Amino acid sequence: MPDALSILVIDDNAIRASIIEAGLREAGHDRVRVIVDVEDVDAQIGAIGPDVVIIDLENPNRDVLEHFFSLSRSLKRPIAMFVDKADLSSIEAAVDAGVSAYVVDGLRKDRVKPILDMAILRFRAFSRMQDELEAARSELQGRKVVDKAKGILMQSRGISEDEAYALLRTTAMNQNRKIAEIAQSVVTAAELLGP
Amino acid sequence: MGLTQITLGFAPLLDSAVLIAAQEQGFAEAEGLVLKLVRETSWANIRDRVAIGHFDAAHMLGPMPLSANLGLTPLDAPLIAPMALGLGGNAITVSNDLWAAMVAFGAPAGGSAKGTGLAMQRVIADRAEKGLPRLRFGVVHRESGHNYELRYWLAASGVDPDRDIEIMVVPPSFQPDALASRRTDAYCVGEPWGSVAVARGIGRIVTTKSAIWRLSPEKVLGTRVQWANRYPEQLAALIRTLTRAARWCGDPDNMPALAKIMSRDDRLGLPSELLLRPLSGKLLFGPEDEHQVDEFFVPFLRAANFPWISHAMWFYSQMVRWGQVEHTPENAAKARASYRPDLFRAAMAGQGIAVPSANAKIEGALTEPTMVGAAGATLTLGPDGFFDGMQFDLDHLDEYIASQKR
């Protein structure tokens, strides 16, 4: 059995980093290190000497990493990005997911590919989670605005809560807009007109 | 008529001005284009996203197409530079402590590359004598104009940049922090990141790219060969759009407006007053120490958008000098083919904007502004001297490379 791969995850998003780390450990990799604080990242990598580096694409330290790798190339430890230079589809999938990987040259593709695939999956799952969180947040925000707008309508027009809601809904349908948008304009108008 | 969308990557730096102005001032629409600009945080990302087709083209370091074609980058996607995005725009900034040491060794305040280089050499020799650690210099990328001009300045001042100091890569916007936390003692970076250190009171600008090599190449428009071949009309329209935007950027009357649109959060996200200084060449080298730097950043005049083969090949000579590539006829040919003045010339034919008739010039040969042969309008080039008086003549590439061998 070949030696266990040493994997380094560099990500300034601590939650995402831990999701990747967990995935790697589940897959049986126990030599996983995570760097969240990227200050002095080159010195830390020098000390760790990883076989595979996984880094988020938004990380400005990619240029630092590549410089570091180019130095190690002169130490006869060539490192190439991704699994295979020619494997464009896998590179595209990685970039689309927002992750990049650097791999010690000469590692067998079948050993590294699953690691990259897992990282891609987890990055995608994380961004889906972010989107859902964002959607939930804006929905909550929307509900608050609708409640406020209902209150304003109830008070200014002397109608019931149900009637206020029906009014918002009909207006939204007539104007082909979302209820939350109509509610927001009611709230804004009320603020402009003052108490 | 529908407009064609072109997606461009950019890094938040002064010389992204041309792309931002092109999008903002209606130059794109006039050519039937809509520009989508995407801000990136690393040059590696820009290179990769151009290579896999996320971006049609991008704001790129001048040597980047060469390094891609010479196999120095992780992806094998041939890149070309069909135009340049300006000349100059960088500065060398040192920590307050290092500046004090340089002053003790006679450093002048006015930004002279020769005087500050000499003082730097003396500081470095003095530190070595006292057994102090080597000074650490930050650059933004290994294959960058910044790395090469810093090394050129040091080497011409008697410093061996590989032996006497350390050079590390730090992303542009992180340079001031690295200086403040003493991870570096100095850095060479595109504006406004030198001015940011001055504004924070943590460093001083000692000299500029324009002082080391006047009117020298910096960023280019980089794109895949494949894209350029597949969409020649779009590329030509893009070149015209960006060249007209560059002319707008170079007009001093437009600079306040330009600084303002560049200051937006999704562009550079810095105060427009801070951007106006390097745009107009009125740099603060230190607190309340303003210097007018002539031709600090030139977006349009002096054929600033023309991708000179001699610029590409000077970068190549420095890649060879510092051991990044081996000098072979094949490598020299790849480097030469990375810049495409033919595409620029074809796109600009009949546009009333001067385009040089030659593809290369002797760099450093012009001691004063000189009228040269051009199509479209009159064209003045230079002065373009290196601070040590050397010249780079592409016809004597082998000799130049040999003369720089250590």
d(C-alpha B295, C-alpha B87), whole Å: 8
ipTM over 0.85: no
Is the predicted pLDDT of residue A34 greater than 60, yes or no?
yes
- Put simply, the answer to whether B74 touches A64 (Cβ < 8 Å) is no
> Lowest mean pLDDT: which of A39-48, B13-22, B242-251?
A39-48
Among B46-50, B156-160, B199-203, B248-252, which stretch is predicted with the lowest mean pLDDT? B46-50
Residues A104 and A17 in one domain: yes
**What is the domain-level CATH number for residue A146?**
1.10.10.10
For residue B152, the model assigns a pLDDT of 98
For residue B74, give the nearest of A67, A68, A80 by CB distance: A80
Q: Is A21 among the domain residues?
A: yes
Q: Which residues contact B242 (CB under 8 A, 6 or more apart)?
A: B18, B19, B22, B27, B83, B85, B221, B305
Which chain A residues have a beta carbon less than 8 Å from that of B76? 85-86
Res. A78: pLDDT tops 70:
no
Residue of A57, A85, A86 with shortest CB distance to B45: A57
Residues 32-91 of A with CB under 8 A from B: 39-40, 42, 57-68, 70, 74, 80-82, 85-86, 88, 91
Q: What is the pLDDT confidence band of residue A81, given thresholds at 50, 70 and 90?
A: low
Check residues A24 and B1 and name the one with the higher pLDDT.
A24
Q: Are residues A126 and A139 in the same domain?
A: no
Query: Which residues span the domain enclosing A158?
Result: 135-193
Average of pLDDT values for B179-196? Answer: 96
Residues A75 and A167 in one domain: no
Alpha-carbon distance of B125 to B159, in angstroms, equals 9
* Interface contact flag, B41 A102, Cβ < 8 Å: no
Asked if residue A165 and residue A75 are part of one domain, the reply reads: no
Set of chain A residues whose Cβ sits within 8 Å of the Cβ of B175: none
A2: in domain: no
Residue A49 pLDDT: 78
- Write out residues 283-312 of B within 8 Å (CB-CB) of A: none
* Strand duo B203-208 + B90-95: pairing: antiparallel
Task: Specify the range with the lowest mean pLDDT, choosing from A124-133, B167-176, B317-326.
Answer: A124-133
Q: What is the mean pLDDT of chain B?
A: 95
Tell me if A100 and B48 make a contact (CB, 8 A cut-off).
yes
Asked if residues B243 and B305 have their Cβ atoms less than 8 Å apart, the reply is: yes
CA gap A106, A76 in Å, rounded: 12
Closest by Cβ to B52, choosing from A67, A80, A91: A91
Mean pLDDT of B121-136: 98
Give the distance from residue B44's alpha carbon to the nearest chain A alpha carbon, in angstroms.
6
Residue A75's pLDDT band (boundaries 50, 70, 90)? Answer: very low
Q: Can you give the pLDDT at residue A77? A: 45
CA–CA separation, A180 vs A183, rounded Å? 5
Contact B183 A88 (CB under 8 A): no
Residue A59 is predicted with a pLDDT of: 84
Give the minimum alpha-carbon distance from B45 to chain A in angstroms, rounded to a whole number.
7
- Per-residue pLDDT, averaged over B92-99, amounts to 98
Q: Are residues A32 and A85 in the same domain?
A: yes
Residues A82 and A175 in one domain: no
Domain end call among A101, A131, A161: A131
Nearest by CB to B41, from A39, A58, A95: name it.
A58
CB contact under 8 A, A64 and B169: yes
| Domain positions in chain B | 90-212
Phi, psi of A27 (to 5 degrees): -80, 5
Distance CA A38, CA B343 (A): 41
Among the partner-chain residues B48, B74, B169, the one whose CB lies closest to the CB of A67 is B169
Distance from CA of B71 to the nearest CA of A (A): 11
List all residues of chain A from 153 to 192 with a beta carbon under 8 Å from chain B.
Answer: none
Least confident of A75-89, B76-90, B124-138, B296-310: A75-89
Distance from CA of B53 to the nearest CA of A (A): 9
Considering the domain architecture, whether residues A170 and A111 belong to the same structural domain is answered as no
Q: Is B169 within 8 Å of B146 (Cβ atoms)?
A: no
Of all residues in chain A, what percent carry a pLDDT higher than 90? 22
Task: Tell me how close the Cα of B76 comes to any Cα of chain A, in angstroms.
Answer: 7
Model pLDDT, residue B293: 97
Hey, are the CB atoms on A70 and B72 less than 8 Å from each other? Answer: yes
B52, B140, B168: residue with CB nearest A92: B52
Rounded mean pLDDT of B327-333?
Answer: 97
pLDDT of residue A2: 56
Q: Nearest CB to A85: which of B42, B44, B75?
A: B75
Q: Per residue in B57-88, pLDDT tens?
A: 999 999 999 999 998 887 778 999 999 999 99
DSSP characters over A134-161 = HHHHHHHHHHHHHHHHHHHHHHHH---H
A103: its two tokens? 């791999």
Considering A110, A131, A152, which residue would you say is the last residue of a domain? A131
Q: Which range in A11-15, A191-195, B102-106 is most confidently predicted, on average pLDDT?
A: B102-106
- Are B168 and B137 in contact by the 8 Å Cβ rule? The answer is yes
The number of residues making up chain A comes to 195
| 3-class state of residue B157 by DSSP | coil
Q: Do A63 and B169 touch (CB under 8 A)?
A: yes
Six-digit token string for B228: 């350029």
CATH class name, domain B90-212: alpha beta
| Terminal alpha carbon distance of chain A | 76
Give residue A142's pLDDT band: very low, low, confident or very high (50, 70, 90).
Answer: confident
Residue B356's nearest CA partner among B337, B395, B382 is B382
**Burial of B12: CB neighbours in 10 Å, binned 0-12, 13-18, 19+:** buried
Which token pair is B332?
Answer: 């020299």
Alpha carbons within 13 A on the beta-carbon side of B65: 31
The answer to whether residue A42 sits within a structural domain is yes
CA B67 to chain centre: 15
Question: What are the chain A neighbours of B174 within 8 Å (beta carbons)?
Answer: 60
How far is residue B129's CA from residue B100's CA, in Å, rounded to a whole number? Answer: 18
Pairing verdict, β A52-56 and A7-10? parallel
Interface test with B, best of A52, A58, A66, A95 (most B CBs within 10 A): A66
Residues A176 and A171: their CA atoms lie apart, in Å, by: 8
Do A104 and A144 belong together in one domain?
A: no
Q: How large is the average pLDDT for residues B1-9?
A: 90
Alpha-carbon gap, residue B3 to B33, rounded angstroms: 5
For the residues A53-65, what does the mean pLDDT come to?
85
Contact yes or no for A63 and B42 at CB 8 A: yes
Percent of chain B with pLDDT over 70: 100
Pairing of strands A99-104, A79-81: antiparallel
| Helix, strand or coil, per DSSP, at residue B228 | helix
Q: For residues A112 and A53, state if they share a domain.
A: yes
| Judgement on whether residues A82 and A59 belong to the same structural domain of the protein | yes
**According to the model, what pLDDT value does residue A74 have?**
42
**B249 min Cα distance to partner chain A (Å):** 28
- Provide the pLDDT for residue A76: 37
pLDDT surpassing 90 at residue A106: no
pLDDT-derived band at B7 (thresholds 50, 70, 90) equals very high
Given this model, what pLDDT does residue B197 score?
97
The answer on pLDDT for A132 being more than 80 is yes
Residues A16 and A107 in one domain: yes
Q: Which residue of A has its CA nearest to B181?
A: A39
- Taking alpha carbons only, the member of B354, B225, B11, B231 closest to residue B19 is B11
Whether pLDDT at B333 is above 90: yes
Determine the pLDDT at residue B75. 73
Q: Is A105 on the interface with B (CB under 8 A)?
A: no
Domain boundary among A131, A149, A181: A131
Say which residue the tokens 């006015």 belong to.
Answer: B110
**Domains of chain A: total:** 2
Q: Which residues pair with A7 in a beta bridge?
A: A32, A52
pLDDT confidence of residue A1: 42
The pTM assigned to this predicted structure is 0.87
**Which range, A88-97, B64-73, B301-310, is most confident?**
B301-310
**What is the count of residue pairs from A and B with beta carbons less than 8 Å apart?**
65
Residues B168 and B147: their CA atoms lie apart, in Å, by 10
Q: What is the CATH number of the domain that holds A29?
A: 3.40.190
Q: Is residue A1 part of a domain?
A: no
With respect to residue A35, please indicate whether it lies within any of the assigned structural domains: yes
Q: Are residues A113 and A183 in the same domain?
A: no
Q: Which of B133, B165, B127 has the alpha carbon at shortest distance from B147? A: B165
Is the pLDDT at B242 greater than 70, yes or no? yes
> Are residues B72 and B93 in contact, defined by beta-carbon separation less than 8 angstroms?
no
Q: Per the domain annotation, does A185 fall within a domain?
A: yes
Rg (CA), chain B: 20
- A12 in contact with chain B, both atoms CB, cutoff 8 A: no
Q: How far apart are the first and last CA of chain B?
A: 60
> How far is the alpha carbon of A139 from chain B, nearest alpha carbon, in Å?
26
Given A42, A63, A91, which is nearest B141 (Cβ)?
A63
Residues of A in contact with B183 (CB under 8 A): 39-40
Diameter over CA atoms, chain B: 71
